Chain A
Amino acid sequence: MYKKLVIKTLLTFLLVSFSGASITHENIPHNIDTSLADKCVEPTEIMRAQHHIFINQQGHDTVVKGIRTTKYSLKNCINCHIKPLADGSYPNIKSKEHFCSGCHIEAAAQVECFDCHASKPFKKIVIKK
């Protein structure tokens, strides 16, 4: 029984350490629009660990209370972090070129924000009828 527990713990540690290695991903180029701001709203380490908490809280405040500050808004994230590719199109949320998916695919953590939210900066679209 103890043997099993030891193996399980070891495996968990292994997994955690590997995933930790993968989410630091310094090698992935970040295509960020630096013309809008010179740095992120929080230091990189805090953003990496807590961006989901900021975004969740902001989402609640916006929908329920009507608070529309831009600091932690998803729209603000997207405006800076998603830049058009060489051909002028915006990266698809399913591709690693998308800022969010770059890490989330690496870390195998599914991101559901963009099932509803726009994954690229606003551009007026023509409605098909």
Chain B
Amino acid sequence: MKKYEIKLDRRNFLKSSTLLGISSVAPGVFFQELAHARDLDKPASSKIRWGMLIDTNQCTEDCDACVTACDEEHGIEDFGRPSTDTQWIRKLNLTDEFSGKSYNLPMMCQHCENPPCVDVCPTGASFIRADGIVLVNPHTCIGCRYCMMACPYKARSFVHENLENQVPHSPRGKGCVESCNLCVHKIDNGENNTACAEACQKDGHQAILFGNLNDPESEISKQLHKYGGKEIRSDLDLNTAVRYRGI
């Protein structure tokens, strides 16, 4: 299956040859260090910034594999109350008023470099980890929900119900705010992929690509360099780690 059409005109040829030149000149030693899985006793490194590139052209309306995979991975249960039920990732369908073209995309925490949720948190529970993942520390969260109001992406949920049968790698409980954690347990164990990206790849859509934005050799950096990736609400200057193609 051909995924992307590449026009080989003068401009693109020059672009790709420059990229090739840079990557061959740059010393391999440094990049190799980034690619290795981190030891369990080492803290997350600021040399890495995890991110996602979502290709909306590959995302289809009837598929919700990413949402189901996320729910299963983190043990998110549905209580039949859509207005308050927890959601870490949701599917959106947007239609351009002018052209009538509709777009499908998954929406979740965008893991901003300058996150508004961290700015407003009164206890410091909302924080940004060294490798760029925006997290809630549930040990410190008092459930005030300021972050939910501050988030322009409506990415956070408050747990309203008593929970049972949580999965050990994703502790969740009533009275805390939570959101997508980029499957931080998988990253720390060296899997370096998220449940949603895995499910999307498994379903053959290849719409979600996960990787290290700081490593110019990673697939995500190469694709971002080649095709670009839009920030949603780029006017807010948040420098999100989740970027979209085709919108």
- Please state if B171 and A116 are interface contacts (CB–CB under 8 Å): yes
Query: Which chain A residues border B137 with CB–CB below 8 Å?
Result: 63-64
Partner of B78 from the list A68, A69, A125, A128 (CB cut-off 8 Å) is: A128
- Please state if A67 and B40 are interface contacts (CB–CB under 8 Å): yes
Partner of A125 from the list B40, B131, B165, B176 (CB cut-off 8 Å) is: B165
Q: Does A41 reach chain B (CB closer than 8 Å)?
A: no
- Please state if B44 and A65 are interface contacts (CB–CB under 8 Å): yes
- Residue in chain A with minimal CB distance to B175: A115
Q: CA of A125 to CA of B40 in the docked complex: distance in angstroms?
A: 26
Interface residues on A, range: 20 to 34
Query: Which chain B residues border A70 with CB–CB below 8 Å?
Result: 40
Minimum distance in angstroms from A25 CB to a CB of chain B: 26
Query: Which chain A residues border B42 with CB–CB below 8 Å?
Result: 67
- Please state if B44 and A66 are interface contacts (CB–CB under 8 Å): yes
- Please state if B168 and A78 are interface contacts (CB–CB under 8 Å): yes
Query: Which chain A residues border B216 with CB–CB below 8 Å?
Result: none
Q: Does A39 reach chain B (CB closer than 8 Å)?
A: no
- Please state if B176 and A116 are interface contacts (CB–CB under 8 Å): yes
- Please state if A129 and B166 are interface contacts (CB–CB under 8 Å): no
Q: CA of A18 to CA of B40 in the docked complex: distance in angstroms?
A: 42
Q: Provided the pairs A64-B129, A116-B173 are in contact, do residues A125 and B167 lie with their beta carbons within 8 angstroms? A: yes
- Residue in chain B with minimal CB distance to A60: B139
Q: Mark B137-174, 1 if CB is under 8 A from A, else 0.
A: 11100000000000000000000000101111101111
- Please state if A128 and B77 are interface contacts (CB–CB under 8 Å): yes
- Please state if A66 and B130 are interface contacts (CB–CB under 8 Å): yes
Q: Does A40 reach chain B (CB closer than 8 Å)?
A: no
Q: Does B75 reach chain A (CB closer than 8 Å)?
A: yes
Instruction: Give residues of chain B (89-136) contacting chain A, Cβ–Cβ below 8 Å.
Output: 127, 129-131, 135
Q: CA of A69 to CA of B176 in the docked complex: distance in angstroms?
A: 25
- Please state if A66 and B131 are interface contacts (CB–CB under 8 Å): yes
Partner of B75 from the list A60, A121, A125, A129 (CB cut-off 8 Å) is: A125
Q: Mark A52-76, 1 if CB is under 8 A from B, else 0.
A: 0000000111011111111000010
Q: CA of A75 to CA of B169 in the docked complex: distance in angstroms?
A: 8
Minimum distance in angstroms from B109 CB to a CB of chain A: 16
Q: Mark A87-129, 1 if CB is under 8 A from B, else 0.
A: 0000000000000000000000000000111100110010111
Query: Which chain A residues border B127 with CB–CB below 8 Å?
Result: 64
- Please state if A127 and B188 are interface contacts (CB–CB under 8 Å): no
Query: Which chain B residues border A117 with CB–CB below 8 Å?
Result: 166, 168, 171
Q: List the 9 shortest-distance A-B pairs measured between CB atoms, nearest first.
A: A116-B173, A66-B44, A65-B43, A116-B171, A118-B168, A115-B173, A117-B171, A68-B188, A68-B40
Q: Provide 6 A-B residue pairs closer than 8 Å at the C-beta atoms, listed in order of the A residue.
A: A63-B138, A66-B184, A68-B40, A118-B165, A125-B167, A128-B78
Show the binding face of B for A, using Cβ within 8 Å. Answer: 38, 40-44, 71-72, 75-78, 127, 129-131, 135, 137-139, 163, 165-169, 171-174, 176, 184-185, 187-189
Show the binding face of A for B, using Cβ within 8 Å. Answer: 59-61, 63-70, 75, 78, 115-118, 121-122, 125, 127-129
